[in-house]
Amino acid sequence: METVSENRCFGGTQGVYTHASDATGGDMTFGLFLPDEASDGPVPLLWYLSGLTCTHENAMVKAGAQAWAAEQGIAVVFPDTSPRGEGVANHDDYDLGQGAGFYIDATQPPWSPHFKMQTYILEDLTRLLFNAFPLDEERQSITGHSMGGHGALTLAAKMPDRFRSASAFSPICNPTQSDWGKKQFAAYLGTIDAGKAHDATELAKTGALDTIPLLIDTGTDDQFADLLCTEALAQTLIARRADATIRLQKGYDHSYFFVSTFIEDHIAFHAEALWR
């Protein structure tokens, strides 16, 4: 691991680091905010997964998470959204290829050699974080925005014993029924049907999200509402009587202005679960 930068931030440290990843077969970059309490021992960790076209930097700079994380004494990690670099497959469309890893492990060429974002998040980056930084492995939660909201919900569904809570801003809730999902699953996995294993609504039908506390915010003026399929997930969670709160925020869109408005609520929600 190499340190790119470290800056004092709300009494703690906002760092940016690069490291070699076996999962993606190349170097990856991530941001990590450590609150001041980390100088005295391990602190809880909140994962923040970003959306299409983003890097580690977007939420790190725009979401405003650090102030509230410092107040709650928790760390926040901001991974990248895909592998990058020379030799990594890409596409002219913004929603496929670099910047659009969808937090799954691709099985189809030309994506399969590098696009292993599920393994990267759950294994490679996890090992590095808990080996290199004062973080409490028993206290983890996860959140994300848009494609990252999809990632947060699906990874939590796959590992409910690992994440104490999950939340999402404008998540892609039913990607096998959306152009933000059908296209990527067909390319990365070979079929849309294979994407059901990575679809929050389909996973919720199995009860995978029944017990983990959930908070989901979506704006009523979200310009991508038809692609998010919020209603499908809401209906499924209601039918399952899951421990979920879904809020439609009047007048808000898909932007980081929306995320930064409600990030305090989400960090407080996770802090309650992390410090329990």
Give the CA distances from residue 80 to residues 37, 61, 144, in Å, rounded to whole numbers and listed in that order. Answer: 25, 13, 12
Give the CA distances from residue 127 to residues 32, 85, 131, 132, 203, in Å, rounded to whole numbers and listed in that order. Answer: 14, 22, 6, 8, 26
Q: Spot the catalytic one: 124, 199, 217, 222.
A: 222
The first and second tokens of residue 74, run together, are 């928790």
CB count within 10 Å of CB 273 equals 18
The residue written with tokens 């970003």 in the block is: 50
CA dist 205 and 219 (Å) reads: 24
DSSP reduced 3-state for 41: coil
Judge whether 254 counts as a catalytic residue.
yes
Residue 167 pairs in a beta bridge with 215
Q: Spot the catalytic one: 56, 198, 254, 266.
A: 254
Judge whether 222 counts as a catalytic residue.
yes
Residue 166 pairs in a beta bridge with 142, 214
Judge whether 146 counts as a catalytic residue.
yes
Pairing of strands 2-9, 12-21: antiparallel
Provide the greatest CA pair distance for the chain: 49
Q: Spot the catalytic one: 146, 165, 167, 178.
A: 146
Residues identified as active-site: 146, 222, 254
